Amino acid sequence: MTVMTADRTQAAGAGDEAVTPTPGDVTELILQDIMAGILAPGSWLKQIDLERRYGCTRQEVRRALDRLAQKRLVQHVPNRGYHVHAPDGRQASEIAEIRLILEIGVAGRIVLNAGAPDVAQLRHLANEFDRLVLEGTLMELYEANLAFHSALLALAGNRELVELVTDIRRRTSSAPVSQWRTRARIEQSGREHHQMIAAIERRDGDALKDAITHHILQR
Amino acid sequence: MTVMTADRTQAAGAGDEAVTPTPGDVTELILQDIMAGILAPGSWLKQIDLERRYGCTRQEVRRALDRLAQKRLVQHVPNRGYHVHAPDGRQASEIAEIRLILEIGVAGRIVLNAGAPDVAQLRHLANEFDRLVLEGTLMELYEANLAFHSALLALAGNRELVELVTDIRRRTSSAPVSQWRTRARIEQSGREHHQMIAAIERRDGDALKDAITHHILQR
DNA sequence: GGAACCAAAATTGGCGCCAATTTAGGGCAA
DNA sequence: TTGCCCTAAATTGGCGCCAATTTTGGTTCC
C-alpha cells in the first residue's frame, strides 16, 4: 500500500491505430463531428446513438463524453446527459484576446528564431491553405489553418505554448463554419499568412505583431 | 473473495484517513494529495490503494485518473497503470514563460480596470499570504498565493484567462514544495505582492510589469 | 553463483446487467 | 377541448464479475 518507487520506465509513445472497427480514440471522432457541424451546438448527445454511430462500447462513449466535458466542448447535466456546448460571444472574444496576447507576446522570439528552412516550411503551409481555399472542404481548410499557426508558434521554441493554443482554439470553434463567413474573408486570411511570413523574413517584429493582430481580430 | 461493496465503513488497514462519505469529486482529493506531496512525483497510483484511501469505487478512481491524465498531472501507461508526472525543467520554464507573457500582456488592462475596492481586496489577500508565512502550512500558503494571483488576473476582465492560468499553474506544481525552497524567497514573494499592488494604485503599468516579471521568474 | 524460465499472485481494463431517474404518451375528469 | 395525473418506455449511471496482461517469487539448468 501507499506509494513510492519512482521507477521510470519511459512510456513508449505508441501511435497505434488502424485495425479493428475502432480506429483510435472515440473522443477524437466525436470532436471531429462537432467541429464539422454534424453534431450541432445545443444538440443532445445520446449515448446509444454515439455507441452505434462509432461502433464502440458504452463505456468508451462515456469516457469520451467525460473528456469532452472536461475540455468544455460539451456540457454535462446529471441524469439528463451531455449536449454540445454553444459558446457565447463573450467567451469567444475572451479567447481571441488570450490568443492575441500569446501570439503577440512571442512575435519577437519567432522573428529571432526563424531560419530560412522555417520560412520555407511556413510558406509551404500557407500555399497549402491557399490551394484548399479553391479545392478543399471547410474542414480541410480549418486543419490547414491550424497547421500554419501551430508551425508559426512552434518557432517560439515553446512546446507547451503550441499545445495550449491548440486547446483553447478548439473551445470556440464548435462549428468552424461560424468563423469564416465569407469566401472573401477566407482569402483575406490567406493573404495575411503571407504578410506574416514576409514580416518574419524581414525580421520585422512589429510588422509581424500587426499582421497577427489583424488576423486574429479579423478586421 | 471480494471485500466491501460501496460500504462507507472505513477500511481498517494502514492508518489512513480521508474518511468522508463522498465529499464530492475524487479527482480533487487526489489532486490535493499530489500537490501536498503525499503522492510523490514518479510514484505509481495503484487503483486498489486509491479506492481504499478515498473510500470510493473502482470506476470513480478510474475516471479521476483519466481526468488527471488529460490534465497532464499523471501519466498513463497501458496495462501498467498511472504514475504521477514528474515535470522536467524544460516544461517548468516553458510554463513560466507562458504565464509571464499572459500576465504582462494584461498588466495594462489591470491598471486601467482596478478600482479602490479591488485594490483593497488584493491587499487583503496579500496580507493573508503574509500571515500564513508565519502561521500556516505550505499548502495553505500555496492556496493563498493562488487566490492572490487569481484575483489579480480577474481584474483584466477575462474569465477564461483566470481559469487558463490556474490550469497551467497546476502543471508545474506537482509538489509546490519544490517551488518555494527557502523561507527568504517566500517572504520576498510577499513583498512583491505589495509592490504589485502599489504599482496598480499608482496606475503604473510598467512598474506592474516589472514586479510581475521578478515575481514569476523569481530572481 | 548467476541467468533464464516457469508458475502463481497481483493489477489493470472491459463488458454486461440492472437500478434510478427522466421523458413521452394515453386516459380520465372538469 | 384542455389540463392533470398516472403508467410505460427510454436513457443515464453505477456496480460486480472476469479476461488479459504484467509483476513477483521460486526453481532449475548451465
* pLDDT tens by residue, A56-107: 999 999 999 999 999 999 999 999 999 999 888 899 899 999 999 999 999 9
Is pLDDT larger for residue A2 or for residue A46? A46
* Residue A116 reports pLDDT greater than 90: yes
Q: Is the confidence at residue A11, as pLDDT, over 50? A: no
Chain A residue with CA closest to B40: the answer is A4
Percent of chain A residues past pLDDT 90, beyond the cut? 71
**How far apart (Å, rounded) are the C-alpha atoms in residues A30 and A84?**
10
Which member of B49, B70, B94 has the closest CB to residue A67?
B70
CATH of domain A26-84: 1.10.10.10
- Domain(s) labelled CATH 1.10.10.10 in chain A stretch across 26-84
User: For residues A217, A97, B167 and B143, what is the CA-based torsion angle, rounded to 10 degrees?
Assistant: 180
Asked if A70 lies within 8 A of B70 by C-beta distance, the reply is yes
Neighbouring C-beta atoms of residue A90, cutoff 10 Å: 11
pLDDT tens sequence across A16-50: 333 334 456 899 999 999 988 899 999 999 999 99
Q: Which helix (H) or strand (E) holds B74?
A: strand B74-77
CA distance B192 to A146: 39
Residue that is written with C-alpha cell 493554443 in the block: A165
Return positions of chain D under 7 A from a protein CB.
11-17, 21-23
Distance, CA of B55 to CA of B52 (rounded, Å): 5
For residue B207 the three cell numbers come to: 512598474
A60 touches strand C (CB under 7 A): yes
Cβ of A45 < 7 Å from strand D? yes
pLDDT at position A19 is 34
Across B76-101, average pLDDT: 93
Task: Name residue, grid cell 494584461.
Answer: B106
CA nearest to nucleotide D13 C1': residue = A79
Distance B78 CA to D26 C1' (A): 28
CA separation for the pair B167, B184 (Å, rounded): 27
For residue A169, which of A208, A194, A142, A197 has the smallest C-alpha distance? Answer: A142
Contacting residues of A for B67, CB less than 8 Å apart: 66-67, 70
Model confidence band, residue B30 (pLDDT cutoffs 50, 70, 90): very high
- Which are the contacts of B88, defined by CB distance < 8 A and separation ≥ 6? none
Q: Pick from B160, B124, B170, B162: which is nearest to B144 by CA? A: B124
Looking at residue B20, its pLDDT comes to: 43
Write out the residue limits of the CATH 1.20.120.530 domain(s) in chain B: 89-217
User: Span B89-217: which CATH code?
Assistant: 1.20.120.530
